[in-house]
Amino acid sequence: MTDLPILISGGGIGGLAAALGLANKGHAVTVLEQASSLGEIGAGIQIGPNAFHALDRLGVGPAARAKAVYVDALVLMDALSDEQVCAIPLDEPFRQRFGNPYAVIHRADLHGVLVDGCRAHERVTLRTGARVAGYDQDGAGVAARLADGERVKGQALIGADGLHSPVRAQVVGDGAPVVSGHTTYRSVIPTAMMPEALRWNGATLWAGPKCHIVHYPLQGWKVFNLVATVQNNATEAVAGEPVPTELVRQSFAHLAPRPQSIIHAAESWKRWVLCDREPQERWIDGRVALLGDAAHPMLQYMAQGACMAMEDAVCLAETVATAAGDIDAGLEAYRERRLPRTTRLQLSSRAMGEYVYHPDGARRLARNAWLKAKSATDFFDSVEWLYGVRGMAV
């Protein structure tokens, strides 16, 4: 059975990172991606120093660094009063402390770096138009069942097929994701359309009551990435649906003029209704394991979903290699190492939304006072577990 490849359902950031990590350790890997071509929707993504540690371990750190924009600070603005609440500097002291920078990057660029890494690897086979419907297994191996009836055999199957993972449906069976009721509108605009006074080299968060706006430059400052979120009790999971410009403008009409001017700068928006899941311990079923959003989907408020998927990949490659042929032991060691950290992020992401991004009234004033009192060192200390190499659990 060891001649068989390790199968990966899903060719997103997590699946490709896992393919690369496993192939680097000498395994043959087959990625089964449902889409007819490999690609990423959406635009910008923030990646912390922990993601660069992971990319380095996968051997593609320099390629990713070349595509990133290095922001100077994480800035929190109060979107009602238009005052700066805090700015966490990301310059040399931050880089020295965490051993890597904080950056923003276009998703397609990050995904492209991983695609190129996989394509250059003779042990990785990338199959598109291959939609996994489920799996069967016996003591010796596993077969991925594709939607067209084909069965693909492997020594193990990694479910890296995202929020609505069919592999998770079989491993865990916990139904549909939890719909948060938060709707995110995303747009990308040429830098010339961004209000001039707001062309900051920072990842900027305008926090309003039950809503927020994020913006940062991307792709060598050619464009600005805009993400605007509102708690509107949406009940259905939606991903990438176009919405009327006027609807977005109305949703943020209660904010101060400057944050509103960001919303008015964009003409076309797409909508996502955010979902996550309750953390749970079951990630493994025999020779099948979950990874990335399939294992631990989280709200975006810690900007860590993709970072965690890449860390998972590094860890999985390491534990499977260390288990030296005992794949069951390798998968179990991976689960044990990754579960506490990713659970903490799922829960922290919800808490960040409630206590930092969206508080209203007295809670808003408490947030401002709490964050204004913090020094840069206080902020660095509070994210040591997340960005520091020792906390990574890989």
Ligand X SMILES: Cc1cc2nc3c(=O)[nH]c(=O)nc-3n(C[C@H](O)[C@H](O)[C@H](O)COP(=O)(O)OP(=O)(O)OC[C@H]3O[C@@H](n4cnc5c(N)ncnc54)[C@H](O)[C@@H]3O)c2cc1C
Distance separating alpha carbons of residues 368 and 77, to the nearest angstrom:
9
85, 78 Cβ separation under 8 angstroms: yes
Name the one range near ligand X by CB under 6 A: 65-73, 119-127, 162-170, 192-200. Answer: 162-170
Angle of the 13-24 helix axis to the 49-58 helix axis, nearest 10: 40
Longest dimension (CA), the chain: 64
Nearer CB in complex with ligand X: 184/368 = 184
| 12, 49, 141, 208: residue in contact with ligand X (rule CB under 6 A) | 12
Three-state secondary structure call for residue 88:
strand
Nearer CB in complex with ligand X: 106/367 = 106
Per-residue x/- track, 276-305, ligand X (CB under 6 A): ----------------xx------x--xxx
Distance separating alpha carbons of residues 16 and 122, to the nearest angstrom:
14
| 71, 194, 223, 307: residue in contact with ligand X (rule CB under 6 A) | 307
Nearer CB in complex with ligand X: 135/368 = 135
Q: Angle at Cα 82 formed by Cα 80 and Cα 87, nearest 5°?
A: 120
Taking the complex as a whole, how short is the minimal distance between the CB of residue 220 and ligand X, in angstroms? 18
For the segment 188-247, give every residue that binds ligand X (CB under 6 A): 227
Does position 9 bind ligand X by CB under 6 A? yes
Per-residue x/- track, 33-52, ligand X (CB under 6 A): xxx---------xx------
For the segment 313-372, give every residue that binds ligand X (CB under 6 A): none
Distance separating alpha carbons of residues 178 and 173, to the nearest angstrom:
14
Does position 117 bind ligand X by CB under 6 A? no
Phi, then psi, of 100 in degrees rounded to 5? -165, 165
216, 225 Cβ separation under 8 angstroms: yes
Q: Which residues bind ligand X (CB under 6 A)?
A: 9-15, 32-35, 45-46, 131-132, 160-163, 166, 184, 227, 272, 292-293, 300, 303-307, 309
